């Protein structure tokens, strides 16, 4: 996928990005994913948020007593993150070459950015390098199911129709299975690697359907995980 195209898109939508994930259903959806990621991290140590966007996860992490650094490819998103979390550090950069010393962080998190990476294996190798021994990583990515298989086609159509919407475009993103990601984590050196499908109440649903999906979300995640939209994968550096 074109890194420049992804950067340009998110620079363009940076000022309206929070209309998706920090408003009504989008906020509930993002908070659910954030909670799943937080459950897989070590205490509330020094954290790097890869693909930090406007700093929503860092804001959540900081309120729980953690200290975090955000990194994103989009200068526009980084600028919004600095406004949201003025006490946290935000940097423009790419996940495949991280500008940090070895064993710098206790935790690494990434929400909904892994799907856009050109070289996810490099991101995981770099993540392993900069984690302290015993450090945890948790990544939430888009995953295939019956509903999401049509999303790339709809986004490509939206781009051709000139719809200036968040995430709408032909970015060549990759939707992962838990097994795919578990193998990549293990190859990068992580141990105790686990994956779980998550999130059935998607922010794009109508309010009535969203409320109904929320009622059944925990049951779906536990017993019919294929219907969930995302996959959360975690691991530890020995």
Give the tens place of pLDDT for each residue, 21-62. Answer: 777 888 999 999 999 999 999 888 999 999 999 999 999 999
Count of other CB atoms within 10 angstroms of residue 87: 9
How much of the chain is in helix, strand and coil states, percent to nearest 5? Answer: 45, 20, 35
Give the distance, in angstroms, between the CA of residue 161 and the centroid of all CA atoms in the same chain. Answer: 27
Mean pLDDT confidence for 137-152: 76
Q: What is the per-residue DSSP string for 65-90?
A: T-EEEEEES-HHHHHHHHHH-TTSEE
**Coil, strand or helix at 26:** helix
Q: What residue spans of 85-234 are helical by DSSP H?
A: 120-130, 151-160, 178-187, 207-223
Count of other CB atoms within 10 angstroms of residue 60: 17
Bridge partner residues of 53 (DSSP): none
Between strands 105-111 and 46-50, the pairing is: parallel
Per-residue pLDDT of 179-190, as tens digits, reads 999 999 999 999
pLDDT at 147 over 60: yes
d(CA 14, CA 19): 10
Per-residue pLDDT of 155-213, as tens digits, reads 555 556 555 555 545 556 788 999 999 999 999 999 999 999 999 887 777 889 989 99
Domain covering 3-145+173-236 in this structure, CATH number: 3.40.50.150
């Amino acid at each position: 996928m074109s890194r420049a195209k992804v950067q340009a898109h998110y620079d363009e939508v940076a000022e309206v990005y929070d209309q998706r994930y920090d408003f009504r259903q989008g906020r509930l959806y993002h908070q659910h994913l954030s909670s799943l990621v937080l459950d897989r991290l070590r205490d509330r140590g020094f954290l790097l948020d890869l693909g930090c966007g406007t700093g929503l996860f860092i804001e959540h992490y900081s309120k729980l007593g953690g200290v975090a650094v955000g990194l994103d490819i989009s200068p526009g998103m980084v600028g919004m993150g600095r406004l949201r979390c003025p006490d946290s550090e935000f940097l423009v950069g790419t996940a495949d070459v991280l500008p940090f010393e070895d064993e710098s962080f206790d935790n690494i998190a990434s929400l909904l950015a892994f799907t856009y990476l050109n070289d996810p294996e490099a991101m995981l190798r770099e993540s392993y390098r900069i984690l302290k021994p015993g450090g945890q990583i948790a990544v939430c990515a888009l995953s295939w199911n019956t509903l999401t298989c049509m999303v790339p086609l709809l986004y490509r159509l939206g781009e051709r129709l000139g719809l200036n919407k968040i995430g709408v475009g032909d970015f060549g993103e990759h939707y992962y299975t838990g097994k795919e990601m578990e193998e990549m984590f293990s190859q990068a050196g992580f141990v105790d690697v686990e994956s779980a499908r998550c999130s059935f109440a998607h922010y794009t649903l109508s309010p009535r359907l969203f409320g109904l999906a929320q009622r059944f979300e925990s049951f779906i995640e536990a017993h019919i995980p294929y219907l969930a939209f995302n996959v959360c994968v975690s691991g530890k550096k020995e």
